Amino acid sequence: MKNKLKNWFVRFSSVLGMSLPILFSGCGPGNDAAIKPKPSLPVMTVNFSDAIVTTVYSALLEGKVNVEVRPQVDGMLETIYVDEGSYVKAGQPLFKIDDRVYREHYNSSLASQHAAEARLVVAKLDEEKLVPLVQNKVISDIQLKTATANTHAAQSAVEQAKAASRSAQIDLEYTVVKATVNGYIGKIPFRLGSLVSKNQSQWLTLLCDVSQVYAYFSMSENDFTIFRQQYPGRTIQEKLQQIHPVSLVMSDGARYPEKGVIGSISGQFDQTTASLRIRAVFSNPQGILRSGNTGKVVFELPVHNALLVPQAATVELQDKIFVFFLEKDNKVRERVVKVSGKSGNNYIVSSGLKQGDIIVTAGIEKLKDGMVINPLKSGPEQADSKAVKVM
């Protein structure tokens, strides 16, 4: 029994002697680096490059002319010549209102005009008959003056009758409602037999001339200040002539093929939204755009010798933008940069960095100020200065 205990103790002591160095080896200095190795992260050298500054504004589209077609006379809707969505030309008939009452009114007015014209002829004959009698002093000139006055009164009656006749004719013509401009027919809320009135609030249809389309968008006060500084000229009109053609991105993300121009800028800021209304004009020869569409107006301004930094290499915190700058000992330092604009997926940096500085481009969410990294220097990576991405 004693021999067994002795053998067990010898084996236990040899195992314990082999285990202790392993157990205590993890407690020595210098093992933190083995447990937490330096992260290997990609870096890039910041250099000057040409860029395109892209600014995007949400816009509402309206046709060049939007006409509310309304009846000018009262009556029953007798005929509808067009359908919703049809393209019509100026002067083309759209609706017909029952004209029987207006036609009889016109006939009556025309008859009154003819009667007045006949009375004028009689009055002139009476006046002409008295002229030689007065010249020969057969009768007093008072009678001639009276006849002349009757002629003038008959002439006035004729003019009044003609005015009434023309007014009746206008009402009769108003029974056929015609298109005032070229454009597309909108919704038609009335049907055949509907009673319409010139005093009604509801229009017969909307007629939209979309040969040109206006894209209305708003610009904040700060944006407008920057906008004015970007273009030469003393007045707003001179600056408008210097603006590059703008693009339109439709609601489906497709870019409209025609370029547009900035047509006008509102004379005052909206006090409610503190924004300024601006209008861009786009030609629409194929009728792709319609009133009520939405889209985005895109400004593109070429910039030379800009410092570009990928947006993915930055962190935004409390209205400040940070990058991680790489020092010579491979330590990273958090640095605030000032951004003057965007070019595609890049920021244009106006201060905080200089040409030749090295920044970390990925994995920055886990970095802390003063950390040491293993930079991946496979080659100087440059920002894409030509890409344009609509936000």
- The 10s digit of each residue's pLDDT in 312-356 is 889 888 888 999 989 888 899 999 998 877 887 888 888 888 888
Q: What is the pLDDT of residue 40?
A: 86
Statement: residue 8 has pLDDT above 70:
no
| Model confidence band, residue 23 (pLDDT cutoffs 50, 70, 90) | very low
The candidate with the shortest Cα–Cα distance to 342, out of 300, 280, 297, 296, is 300
Q: What is the pLDDT of residue 307?
A: 87
Q: What is the pLDDT of residue 36?
A: 65
Statement: residue 51 has pLDDT above 90:
no
Rounded to whole angstroms, the Cα distance separating 292 from 210 reads 11
Q: Which two tokens stand for residue 94?
A: 């759209």
Q: What is the pLDDT of residue 383?
A: 45
| Residue 137 to residues 82, 126, 229, 355, Cα–Cα distance (Å) | 72, 17, 91, 115
Task: Name the residue with tokens 């029952």.
Answer: 98
Q: What is the pLDDT of residue 228?
A: 81
Statement: residue 16 has pLDDT above 80:
no
Question: Is the CATH number of domain 99-174 3.40.50.170?
Answer: no
Q: Which two tokens stand for residue 196?
A: 């319409």
Work out the angle between the directed axes of helices 141-174 and 100-135 (0-180°, nearest 10): 160
| Model confidence band, residue 30 (pLDDT cutoffs 50, 70, 90) | very low
* Count of residues making up the chain: 391
- The 10s digit of each residue's pLDDT in 263-294 is 888 888 888 888 899 999 999 988 889 888 99
Q: Which two tokens stand for residue 148?
A: 């002349």
Rounded to whole angstroms, the Cα distance separating 178 from 95 reads 7
Every domain of the chain and the residues it spans: 40-53+303-376, 56-64+209-301, 71-97+176-202, 99-174
- The 10s digit of each residue's pLDDT in 300-322 is 888 888 888 888 889 888 888 99
| Range 71-97+176-202: architecture per CATH | Beta Barrel (2.40)
Give CB contacts under 8 A, 24+ apart, made by 244-247: 244/299, 244/300, 244/301, 246/280, 246/297, 246/298, 246/299, 246/300, 247/297, 247/298, 247/300
Rounded to whole angstroms, the Cα distance separating 51 from 384 reads 8
- The 10s digit of each residue's pLDDT in 181-226 is 898 999 999 999 999 999 999 999 999 998 899 999 998 888 888 7
367 with 324: CB under 8 angstroms?
yes
**Homologous superfamily of 56-64+209-301:** Efflux pump adaptor protein, beta barrel domain (2.40.30.170)
Statement: residue 391 has pLDDT above 80:
no
- Count the Cβ atoms, other than its own, within 10 Å of residue 27: 7
Q: What is the pLDDT of residue 7?
A: 54
Q: Which helix (H) or strand (E) holds 24?
A: helix 2-25
- Count the Cβ atoms, other than its own, within 10 Å of residue 219: 20
Q: What is the pLDDT of residue 378?
A: 47
The candidate with the shortest Cα–Cα distance to 37, out of 330, 338, 366, 372, is 372
Q: Which two tokens stand for residue 61?
A: 């589209």
Fold entry, domain 40-53+303-376: 2.40.420
Rounded to whole angstroms, the Cα distance separating 335 from 327 reads 12
Q: What is the pLDDT of residue 318?
A: 80
The set of residues, in sequence order, having a beta carbon less than 8 Å from that of 113 and lying 6+ positions away, is 158, 161, 162, 164, 165
Query: Whole-prediction pTM value?
Result: 0.63
Task: Name the residue with tokens 């009164």.
Answer: 153
Tell me which of 36 and 117 has the higher pLDDT. Answer: 117
- The 10s digit of each residue's pLDDT in 188-197 is 999 999 999 9
